[in-house]
Structures are given as C-alpha cells and as structure tokens.
Structure 1
Amino acid sequence: MAAPRPLRRCLLAALSALLAGSALAGPAQAAGSGTTSASAAAVTTFSDTFDGPAGAAVDSSKWQLETGDNVNNHERQYYTSGTKNAALDGQGHLVITARRENPANYQCWYGTCQYTSARLNTSGKFAAQYGHVEARMKIPRGQGMWPAFWMLGTDLGQVGWPNSGEIDVMENVGFEPSTVHGTIHGPGYSGSAGIGAPYSLPNGQAFADAFHTFAVDWAPDSISWSVDGTVYQRRTPADLGGKTWVFNKPFFLILNLAVGGYWPGDPDASTSFPQQLVVDSVSVTTSNTSTGAAIRGLAGKCVDVAGANSANGTPVQLYDCNGTAAQQWTVGSDGTLRALGKCLDVTDNGTADGSTVQLWDCTGGPNQKWVVTDAHDIVNPQANKCLDVTGNNSANGTRLQIWTCTGGANQKWTVG
C-alpha cells in the first residue's frame, strides 16, 4: 500500500447541490448449451455502454457533471462541465480527459488551476443497494494520475462524510501502474484508516495497456472486490473492530480522473498530457428474486438452512416448505445462492460425491458457484456435480450434498 495518507473532509454542497465552482470531495485515499448460470436470473438496473456520436455529451438522464476543484485531497485539476473533458468517442466509450491547460482561467485552491478534467456521478438519478457493480475501463498512465470508480451513500447531505460511507471499487495512482486498490471508508475508518487491499497484475503488466473489468459484489454485511472476475478481497462487519458498518443502504456511482493530490503526488516532467480514462461500460445488476424465493425439490420440499441458523457451517437440508427466511434463497448476480446473508457452500471445497453443502460467508470461491440447467439441475461447475438429496430420502432434515448428475428426482429443483 502507499505511504500513510491524510483524512479527507467532504464539502457536502459538492454532491448534494452540485453547485458550479463548489469544492469537491475526492475518493478517499487508501490503500454450455442448455444451461444458464445463476447470474442469468439477474436484472440489470443500470447500464451505460456510451453509444453515440463522437464528441457527444454523456447521457444526462444517467449522469451529471460536477464542477470545481478539491482542496481536501490537494488535487490540482478543475472539473469542468460540457464536453471538453468528458465526451463520447463514437466507438462506444466515454473518454474522461485530463489536460494540462486552463483556457477559462479557472481558479483553484492553490491559485490559477494548472489542469482540467471531469467527474461524473449518478446522484439523484440512480442509486443501488446491493448487487454486482461493474465498470470496464482502460486507465491512464503517468505520475500524478488518479482515476477512480467509486460510490457514496445517498444520505451524504444529511449525515456527512464519512458517516455516509464510501465504497471505492477501483482506484489507481500513477506511480503504481500494475496495481489498483479497493477500499471502504466509514466512521472511524476513513482516509488513511480506510479498510482495503491492493490487486496487482502479474509479470509487471500495466493496467493502462488494456481494458479491465473492476467490480464489487455487494450484499447485506458483505462486499467482495474483483478484477477481471478474480476476487481479491472480501469485507464484512467483522473487519471493522467494532466500528459501524454503513453499507446496508443506497449508494450512487462516481467516475472521475483526478490530477495530483496527497496520495498520487503531483505530475512531474515524466508525465505526458493529455491523459485519458476510457470507460467502455458501467452496469449494476441485481437478482430478480431479491426478496428471496423457495427452492423446491424432492416430495415438494424445500432447501432449508437447519434451525434458521446463520452461523458458518450450518447444514443445508430438505424440509417442509414453510416460507421462513431459512428457505428464502436469492440468486446472486455472481452465480451464488444466498440465504440469511450467506452463501450455499460445498463443505471444505469438496468435489467428491457425497461432499455436503452448508451455509458459509460468501467468499467468491468456486465451491459457492452454481449453474441452473433447463432440466432443473443445480450444478457446481468446479465439481461438475449436482445438488442432491442424500439417499433419495424425503424425510425432513435430510442433508443435501453434491453427487454425479443422474437425472434422478432427488436432483431436480425449481427456483421460485
């Protein structure tokens, strides 16, 4: 991680009223055929693929441009309106451009601004609470560059930062061309005390050389970060040392390219301009069974968490359908099946016939991925085996397991 970085103070007017010329908060500084995956049941609640003619403005029904500078992080850019620093390229991309220029004589906290760039958000237009939040982007390169894709709580104007919470899906600082960071910030763990982790490409590859997909999978009391589908960290309230988890509420999206600041440092003679953050797509998907649905199988009985106990390792069993939370399963956009805030998990990452299933914290592991086939099988792809009622026994409390797919009635399931 980078050296210790100072706490950030957020001026609420920048995001609640978005007044032209307001001082802005920055992202806090921190470190097969015939089958469908569980994610096929996902509903896209927000999507922008940035289609349109070259030079056109971003879709104003989805995004708004913030304007002003940012003294809090000691950033050097002035965020502008219009299309000079944020425009479509005619090839399905949004291009956010940082320029070493100031033709409008913008004034920044340090005097006449030396750079211009752009920052967009969905405040008042779109907010998400849980789901798969993703952006496919190619980031800029060079000392002093600071691109970010992040989120802030919609209650920012009421409770202030960091009580609003902040989820940094991706941040990069130019002196780390192979590394990005994912972080959460909240009361008592903000700024340099934010909780997160880095992810680095192998063999010295630079993120600026190609498009990459940056995402979080966000559920009650759980956030997991991934790059190109590889999960590299997961955070829950247990990581906060007793501090308050402020992420079970709506958040809005932000895209920006900052220049300079406490964390990245300022551009130097090695930094070439203009630099561009090229955004191919942004999407948020959530389950279309977000309130939970029963999974029915043998003898019309349901997949059930024993004793409605949410502790890790609780057996998952067959039981009379009763409509309780222990039988309400959400089809996650990441291929998981979730109940009581946790995931259906093959015990000990097993792949052998007879490996039991249980409830466990969602980790993003292959033992928590499931595919629902048109034939009503629920398959764990890692093991290439089906969710199975042990011994074809329809008695209440019969443990569920994985087993070689046979087409038997004890392996047939209906979701919903």
Structure 2
Amino acid sequence: MDRMKLKMILLRTLVCLLLFSLFCSSLPSTKAATTWNLVWSDEFNGNFGAAPDSRKWKYDIGGSGWGNNELQYYTDSRNNSYLDGNGNLVIKAVKENFGGNSYTSARLLTKGLFTQAYGKFEARIKLPFGKGIWPAFWMLGDNLDSAGWPNSGEIDIMEHLGHDSSTIYGTVHGPGYSGSGGIGKSYTLPNGQLFKDAFHVISMEWEPTQIRWYVDGNLYHTFNKSQLGSGQTWVFDHPFFMIMNLAVGGNWPGDPDAGTTFPQMMLVDYVRVYKAGSTPVEPGAVYKLINVNSGKALDVYAAGTADGTNVQIYTDNNTPAQRWQVIRNADGSYRLTNPQSGKSLDVADAGTADGTNVQIWSSNESVAQKWNIVDYGDGSFKLINTGSGKALDVSSAGTADGTNVQIWSDNNTSAQKWRMIKL
C-alpha cells in the first residue's frame, strides 16, 4: 500500500472517530429511575364507623375561618371522619349549625406523629363535588410554629374546587410566592372524566432541588429551585407533615350555592410515603432473617407445614424452615412465604394488639400477611405489619431457641431488628 492511500485511510479513520465523539457527546445523559421504598402508610382498613388510627393522625379543631374565610367548623367527631369498612377513610362535610358555623367537616394531620423531608407522597382519592367544596391533600413545614407561614413552606399535593370536577391543582408557597402568588399548575382529566366519579392516584415527588406532581402516573407540574427569583426563598429543605381536609367556602372557591348538595364526602383509599434509595430487598429472592438481638433465625416450629404452625427464633441452621421468599404486593408491601410449606408469615386472626402471635398460614393477600420492610440504614430492617402498624418482634427480647415471635408496637429495639441474608 503506497503512502498516499495510507494517509487517506488514516484521515478517514480520524474523521469517523471525531464524528462519533461529537455524536456521543451530544446524546443526553440518562439517569437511573428512582427506586421508592415504602416507609409509612395508612391503608384505612378497619370496621365501619371506626376512628382513623390515632397513632398516625391528629385533628385540627375549630371554626375560625382558617385564614381563608372558610365556613366549616372542623371536629374530631365520627360524624365527620371515619372508616367505611371497605378500606377507605371518609372525610365528610355536613350542613349543620355547630360552634357558630353553618357546616362541619374534618382536618386530619400527622404533625407531631410523622414528618419527612424529601420522598414520594401519594394518596388514592375519590373527590367530592359542588360549588364551595374544597378538598385538599397537602403539607406544611414542621417548623411552622417557630418560623410561621409561609416561611415554613407549603406543598399542596392536591387542591380541588368542587364546581370543576375535572381539574385539580398542585402548588407551592414560600417567602415571596405565597397566597395567590403561589407557584402551581392544574391538571384536567382526559375524555371528560370527573374526579367525583372514580378514585385517582395523586402523588408528589420531592427532591432537594425539585418537586414534581402526578395524577395516575402522569407528570403535569415540575418546580425547580433554580426558577426562584429575587426576594423568593427555597424553604423545602426540612421535614414536613401531611394534612387532609375538606373545607367549605372560602376566598378561593367561594361559598356553596343552592345547587351544592350535602353531605359531601372525600374518600381516601390509602396514603403512602416513600424514600428514595436502592431497593432493600429483591422481590422473588429467598432470605433468612437473623434477629439482631439474639443472632437467631426466623424459624417455622418443627418445620411444620400446617396452617397455624407457630413462628419462633432458632439457631441458624440453614434448613428450609428458616427460608423466606419475599414477594412484592401491588400496594408496595411484601409477603414473606416459606418455600417448604408454601405458607406465609401471618398475624393470627389479623390481630392488632401487642403480643398477637405470628404464625404461618395459607397465602391469602390479607393485611395479616402484608409487611412493610423498612431499612434502618445500619444493615438491618424492621417488618411492619400493614394491618396493625406493629413490628415483627421477639417476645420479651428473648434469645433462647424456641422464643416466640409476635407483633408489638414499633419501638426500634434490637428485638425488632432483622438482618436479611440472601440465599
């Protein structure tokens, strides 16, 4: 090959490499999808007429207008908030004279019980309707009492004006962009659908410099820290608590008219909160669970296979009685199934009292077999039963072979910490 041909080949090769380099550098970088780990939830399972879980919700009470000239008096009465027996929380606005107001309703909040900075906050809700009806799912900074509003920050995950049953709003409020100056957008359901006719999943994803709003998985609003201007301050860098309420009247929606019917009900199927991070467990994989306090394994008594066989701790021996397959449920919780028996880790009689026994039982997807797996961040996990809100616990923090396993109020002790070792 002569020198001229060799030079041409080298030149062409160099040009191709340069073009390839330019092409690759122009491609957008991709970011791995965020994995959301469930850390808190209320599924609102319970008997008809029962109160919402007092370990998760408090009440704001009163009828002072709430800064918006609202017309309702908020109560903690079962007349205004209760479980419907079908897995929903009902928040009900009633037309009645009470405390000098013409309507009653309810406003539930997690202040003092649960707060979180960043993560995914989600609820499945069926909304009320009518002029002057104003339901909301929202958040306030946990420094509200010291910093005041709007310095504490406000994130409206969902607000809805009942006269327009197809549209909801997602908004933030902070210093320099509060009240009518809040930064938000609306979402309208497609094809003439109405929020009053069906449940919809309302969610918000919050990261250190960005907040995003979704309806049924559809992104409709993104708020970035970088878009704030002079005199506007980003105050979304600390924990917030959640609020759910159903207001009547006020500055924004206006008052009810003759066409507004009562009572009006906001139905909430669930509220779930997630943290971003790596998946703590691999769905479908088999694990042994070692109790941190005792060093012993979660074990099926005598390797039994019958419904009702007791679950205990026992010296780690790698037998099938100590193997648990982790199966992810559609709601983000997990079922732990012993492959030898095919039966699942189960709270006896779906009990909720401290000390209720844990056993194996035929898999049935009931709340007695649903567990949230929460990462402590120290290599251990706690398992919270969704039906009771209580943790998988070794009785009396025992360490002997055969010590019983139960549920007990979540107390972060080592008797409730489990290392999950993939087999």
TM-score by length of 1: 0.58
The 5-angstrom pairing of residues 16-415 of structure 1 reads 41-71=35-65, 72-102=67-97, 105-106=98-99, 112-242=100-230, 243-289=232-278
- Structure 1 residue 118 displacement after superposition: 0.2
Change (3 A) 1:205 1:42: closer
Q: Distance in 2 between matches of 1:278 and 1:70?
A: 25
Q: After TM superposition, where is structure 1 displaced by more than 3 Å over at least 4 residues in a row?
A: none
- Structure 1 residue 38 displacement after superposition: 5.5
Q: Distance in 2 between matches of 1:144 and 1:191?
A: 18
Q: Distance in 2 between matches of 1:258 and 1:249?
A: 27
Match of 2:405 in 1: none
Query: What secondary structure is seen at the aligned counterpart in 1 of 2:145?
Result: helix
Q: Distance in 1 between matches of 2:248 and 2:189?
A: 23
- Structure 1 residue 288 displacement after superposition: 3.9
- Structure 1 residue 238 displacement after superposition: 2.1
Query: What secondary structure is seen at the aligned counterpart in 1 of 2:95?
Result: coil
Q: Distance in 2 between matches of 1:113 and 1:94?
A: 24
The amino acid that maps onto 1:219 is: E
Write out per-residue CA displacement over residues 60-84 of structure 1, whole angstroms, 9 at most, x where no aligned residue: 0000011002421010000001311
The amino acid that maps onto 2:159 is: E
- Structure 1 residue 225 displacement after superposition: 0.3
Match of 2:387 in 1: none
The amino acid that maps onto 2:249 is: G
Do the aligned partners of 2:105 and 2:247 also contact (CA within 8 Å) in 1? Answer: yes
Q: Distance in 2 between matches of 1:113 and 1:170?
A: 25
Q: Distance in 1 between matches of 2:191 and 2:37?
A: 36
Q: Distance in 1 between matches of 2:227 and 2:193?
A: 30
- Structure 1 residue 289 displacement after superposition: 4.3
Do the aligned partners of 2:133 and 2:161 also contact (CA within 8 Å) in 1? Answer: yes
The amino acid that maps onto 2:220 is: Y
Q: Percent identity?
A: 54
Do the aligned partners of 2:36 and 2:120 also contact (CA within 8 Å) in 1? Answer: no
Write out per-residue CA displacement over residues 285-324 of structure 1, whole angstroms, 9 at most, x where no aligned residue: 112449xxxxxxxxxxxxxxxxxxxxxxxxxxxxxxxxxx
Q: Distance in 2 between matches of 1:156 and 1:65?
A: 16
Q: Distance in 2 between matches of 1:137 and 1:205?
A: 14
Query: What secondary structure is seen at the aligned counterpart in 2 of 1:241?
Result: coil
Larger Rg: 2
Query: What secondary structure is seen at the aligned counterpart in 2 of 1:44?
Result: strand
Query: What secondary structure is seen at the aligned counterpart in 2 of 1:282?
Result: strand
- Structure 1 residue 44 displacement after superposition: 1.4
The amino acid that maps onto 2:90 is: V
Query: What secondary structure is seen at the aligned counterpart in 1 of 2:196?
Result: helix
Query: What secondary structure is seen at the aligned counterpart in 2 of 1:101?
Result: strand
Write out per-residue CA displacement over residues 182-226 of structure 1, whole angstroms, 9 at most, x where no aligned residue: 000000100000000000012322111100011111100100000
Q: Distance in 1 between matches of 2:155 and 2:106?
A: 20
The amino acid that maps onto 1:269 is: A
Aligned-pair RMSD on alpha carbons? 1.4
Q: Distance in 1 between matches of 2:172 and 2:155?
A: 5
The amino acid that maps onto 1:244 is: T
Do the aligned partners of 2:122 and 2:271 also contact (CA within 8 Å) in 1? Answer: yes
Query: What secondary structure is seen at the aligned counterpart in 1 of 2:203?
Result: strand
The amino acid that maps onto 1:227 is: V
Larger relative CO (CA 8 A, sep 6+): 1 or 2? 1
Q: Distance in 1 between matches of 2:138 and 2:224?
A: 18
- Structure 1 residue 59 displacement after superposition: 0.1
Unaligned runs of 5+ in 2: 1-31, 280-423
Q: Distance in 2 between matches of 1:275 and 1:172?
A: 13
Q: Distance in 1 between matches of 2:183 and 2:227?
A: 8
Q: Distance in 2 between matches of 1:80 and 1:187?
A: 31
Write out per-residue CA displacement over residues 325-375 of structure 1, whole angstroms, 9 at most, x where no aligned residue: xxxxxxxxxxxxxxxxxxxxxxxxxxxxxxxxxxxxxxxxxxxxxxxxxxx
Query: What secondary structure is seen at the aligned counterpart in 1 of 2:266?
Result: strand
Unaligned runs of 5+ in 1: 1-36, 107-111, 291-416
